[in-house]
Amino acid sequence: MCAASNECASPQACVVGRCQDPNGVPLIQKKEVRRHLIAPVAMAYVQRGEPATDGAAAPVFTLGRAGVGDGRLYLRFAVPLAKETSILEAYVLLDRSFASQPDPTPIVLHAARVIDPWEPRSISWSFQPRFEEARTPSTRVMPAPRHLVRIDVRAIVQRWAQRDPQDQGIVIMADNSTDVGMAFAMASTVGASLEDGSSLAQASSSSPPRLELYVAPEAADRK
């Protein structure tokens, strides 16, 4: 994953969020590939010391903020994948919230595989489902006002076609913390503005977390 070409080893460049050959056509842009956006069927945010929210979700959540504990975002999707489906790319999309100024220090986010059943009404920091690392790539989120953040979850989503009962969703967490952390939208917002009254073009609207899939027939080879 990358945000700019200077994060890629030469001669690669940052193309659609990933280090790739700049002279080739990214596989996800080929005509046989289909893009799908999928809303979660369950969603919950927990942080240390906070009780269960009884299913209620605040419009904004924070990851990587020191002092409020280790915030985690839990997501579950209903995606009936056939075994022959080829998942070329899979991302959790998060929209930045600019209701407050971000910390000048970047944070690093990654996803893990949830392996225990859970429900938004009863989940809390003290009663979280277990999860296991899936060796997914990390995403470095810069403080610059980039609205959309992609977190690679391909290694997790590819398992869903096996119908393993231990596949209970995805958890997003930060690898480091800063004084302010990064705020993201949990619900749709329109016309957001900063606390000082100023506004940003990127803050005009935000969408909740969702899953982005790039799917092709099994015959398509990943480059």
Q: What is the 3-state secondary structure (H, E, C) of 156-223?
A: HHHHHHHCCCCCCCEEEEECCCECCCEEEECCCEECCCCCCCCCCHHHHEECCCEEEEEEECCCCCCC
**Residues 39 and 16 reside in one and the same domain:** no
Amino acid in the structure at residue 131: F
**Residues 8 and 100 reside in one and the same domain:** no
Q: Is 42 left (phi over 0), alpha (psi -120 to 50) or beta?
A: beta
d(CA 219, CA 82): 14
d(CA 202, CA 98): 8
pLDDT recorded at residue 178: 87
pLDDT recorded at residue 193: 44
d(CA 150, CA 3): 10
pLDDT recorded at residue 88: 87
User: Can you tell me which residue has the tokens 């975002």?
Assistant: 73
Please give the residue range of the domain that contains residue 13.
1-31
d(CA 199, CA 43): 28
**61 lies in some domain:** yes
pLDDT recorded at residue 197: 43
The model carries a pTM of 0.80
C-beta of residue 84 within 8 angstroms of C-beta of residue 159: no
Output the furthest CA–CA distance in the chain (Å, rounded).
53
* pLDDT tens for the chain, residues 1 to 223: 666 667 777 777 776 566 776 666 556 666 678 889 999 999 999 988 766 666 566 788 999 888 666 799 999 999 988 888 888 889 999 999 876 676 788 899 999 999 999 999 889 888 999 999 998 989 988 887 678 899 999 999 999 999 999 999 999 999 998 888 888 999 876 554 444 444 444 445 788 999 999 988 654 444 4
**Residues 43 and 19 reside in one and the same domain:** no
**Residues 138 and 165 reside in one and the same domain:** yes
C-beta of residue 162 within 8 angstroms of C-beta of residue 81: no
**223 lies in some domain:** no
**222 lies in some domain:** no
**43 lies in some domain:** yes
